[in-house]
Amino acid sequence: MNINIITLFPEIFEALNYGLLGQAIDREDIKINILDLREYQINKHGQVDDKPYGGGEGMVLMAEPLEKSLKDIPLDVLGKVINLSPQGKLLNHEKAKEFSSLTSITIISGRYEGIDERFISQYVDEEISIGDFVLSGGEFAALSLIDSLSRFIPGVIGNKISVEQDSLSQGILKGPVFTRPENFNSELVPEVLLSGDHKKIQEWKDNQALERTFKRRPELLKSAKLTKKQKKLLEELASKDIL
């Protein structure tokens, strides 16, 4: 997959060089192309932003440098142009999976008070938000987007089953997990996990996942595809009013 990133702060993306994602980049499972917006300045003063028309606080990234940087990307690796913005659709598990199926994407990392609306209307295919909060710049949102979609690209995560069992992969949260020691500050690992009975263990995990979702993220259950058994358990949880 080709990922182009247009940014004022290329150094932030050095974080991509670590962990499984860094290994995937080394293998060229993912190819990262970073364009420094300051190299596409409109004058000798290095200008890439200006005051907003009509007044207001802060500065706005200008359309011209953004356009110049975008046109510097070969068309065959440009792909879908994504602007990271609070006005965008909320990034979720399914959207990350959808992006991972593309051969190329180009991410615009905005700054300040945003970018000129004319660039958005003429060049941006989709706007994405990573949550209902404000960041100092789109770079951190871009890192989140890249990391989330990369997990679906074959070869990035060695254990495919791990990806399939992640929180939200089935529409609900993942249940609690434990490791050694069996006794930590007088709190024991649930006995069923030590039983060796794989059927009972899986049933316990499924029940815990559903209960945790019911307690912490009940809104997810509205769109989750539940089995008859899960629906029955959900009814039991609701009747106990364990929230």
Catalytic residue list = 86, 113, 151, 166
Tokens (6 digits) for 145: 């987007």
Dihedral, 185, 191, 197, 199 alpha carbons, nearest 10:
-100
Supply 105's token pair: 């994407």
The 8-class DSSP code of residue 85 comes to E
Q: Residue 17 carries which side chain, given as an amino acid letter? A: N
Cis preceding linkage at 176, omega within 30: no
The residue assigned the tokens 């989140």 is 144
Closest to 84 measured CA to CA, from 133, 23, 20 = 133
CA neighbor of 14 nearest in space, from 158, 139, 156, 152: 139
